Structure 1
Amino acid sequence: MHPLEKFEYCPMCGSHHFVENSKASKKCENCGFELFMNPSSANVAIITNSKGEILVERRRNEPVKGTLDLPGGFAELGETAEEGVAREVMEETGLKVTEAKYLFSLPNIYRYSRIDIHTLDMFFECKVEDESVLTANDDAAECMWVGPDDIHTEQFGLRSVRWGLIKFLGREECFSKEIHENVDKNV
């Protein structure tokens, strides 16, 4: 379900004449208020250790509980993308990010509470202070270091994380065509 479908009445004046204005907005025919539903900002960390292995988590919660993931999550109000990715890494792994280098972004649809939340996932290559303090916390049920050749992207439950790993690992044969064909599918 698109998030705008939940809004039957204008949040400003309460009118039932709150109609679709574009694929990202509804507008009140009574008072003129327009509500936009743009993508939410999310961050993903790609962290490698001194052996070149990538930090991978197992998801503790839905959606896609039990599948593999990378550290990350939604940005909070008032923080930069770099601050958000560092906060998420700390919350989920106990690791302190010392550097966050922006790599690329991918659109995603995150199904939560029966609503499709459109996101723009920003991927960062992160360096951390001390790999030895790694601990699974918050949304991470388990954390592990995995060699690049042992990464099987089909084991990752979130579409943008699968595609992000494909791109990061240079396995992009059909990447560009596939992402644009499937941008509106939650696969």
Structure 2
Amino acid sequence: MNHPLYQFTFCPRCGSAHFQENNEKSKKCADCGFTYYYNSSAASVAVIENSKGEILVARRAKDPAKGTYDLPGGFIDVGETAENAVKREIMEETNLDVISLKYLFSIPNIYVYSGFEVHTVDLFFKCNVDDFSNLKAQDDVSDLKFIALDKLNPDDFGLLSIRKGVELLIQNKY
């Protein structure tokens, strides 16, 4: 397995090519002494149920995993809470307002974007929505639909962390 910073060859402070592995999660510049620690990016994931207990599932409109199922969500912006991020992402992707939410669990993931491996920790939230009349696929979602929990197939989900999260939901672990 590659070091998580293998694609970083130059020091971000001084530009030196002497930017070398320091330990399993950092690199250090031999010229200026700068040490960079690679930490996970955070993402939020929404588990939304309707009154029938069906789960809202999105179809990805873009790569990675274009055309596969997903749960609404996305990266948490700098300075944003995970709770606000999941509400924002739901609005951006589904046009729905979250009235309340509860943290469920987290799963580490590697999200490959433009050939770059982004290590993430995906935070899953159960989100309550009381009005689905404005439901509309938008942003990076091509389609939305509700599927009964017992009809969900984890293999239909293209992102590993979402697949694992769906497995936990099916097993009634949360």
TM-score, structure 1 length as denominator? 0.88
Contact 1:57 1:142 in 2 (8 A): yes
Consecutive unaligned residues of structure 2, counting only runs of 5 or more, are none
For residues 78-157 of structure 1, what are the structure 2 equivalents within 5 Å?
Answer: 78-157=79-158
Q: How big is each residue's C-alpha offset from its partner over 1:6-56, in whole Å with a ceiling of 9 and x where there is no partner?
A: 321212122221101122211011111011111100010000001111000
CA contact (8 A) 1:46 1:55 kept: yes
Coordinate RMSD, CA, aligned: 1.4
AA aligned opposite 2:24:
K
**What is the identity, as a one-letter code, of the residue corresponding to 2:115?**
R
Provide the identity percentage.
53
CA distance in 2 between counterparts of 1:134 and 1:3 reads 38
> 2:164 is matched with which residue?
163
**Structure 1 unaligned residues grouped into runs of 5+:** 173-187
**Contact 1:102-1:124 within 8 A present in 2 as well:** yes
1:21 paired residue number: 22
Aligned residues of 1:2 and 1:116 also touching (Cα < 8 A) = no
Q: Which has the larger share of helix?
A: 1
The letter of the residue matching 2:131 is D
> How many residue pairs were aligned?
172
Correspondence 1:51 to 2:52: yes
